[in-house]
Amino acid sequence: MTTQAAAQGAKKARTLVGRVVSDKMQKTVTVKVERRVRDSMMGKIVTRSKKYHAHVEEAGVAAGDLVEIAECRPVSKTKSWRVTRLIEKSRAV
């Protein structure tokens, strides 16, 4: 397989944007991703959410921050995502 064929066959990693809910673990953050979908029966728009564990190397991410996560190979039993960038720091109240 040539390098050009390998580059064409490479998949682009899925990315999601969410809010950091917990940073209590070492090198791991819990990210809550919310999406808005239309209810099939009522037609009303509802918010669905899911939590992902994401790997983070630097300790610059804290609870409340808005981050982008990308899918990667499994790092542990529950971690298959990594933090790619910090979009917005949380505002202290």
Spatial separation of the C-alpha atoms in residues 54 and 27, rounded to whole Å: 8
pLDDT band at 9 (very low <50, low <70, confident <90, very high): low
**pTM for the model:** 0.81
Residue 93: how many CA atoms within 13 Å on its side-chain side? 1
pLDDT digits (tens, 9 = 90+) for 42-63: 999 999 999 999 999 888 899 9
In this predicted structure, the answer to whether residue 64 has a pLDDT above a threshold of 80 is yes
What pLDDT is recorded for position 93? 63
Residue 87: what pLDDT?
95
Alpha carbons within 13 angstroms on the beta-carbon side of residue 60 total 11
Domains of the chain: 13-88 (2.40.50.140)
Q: Is 64 exposed, middle or buried (0-12, 13-18, 19+ CB in 10 A)?
A: middle
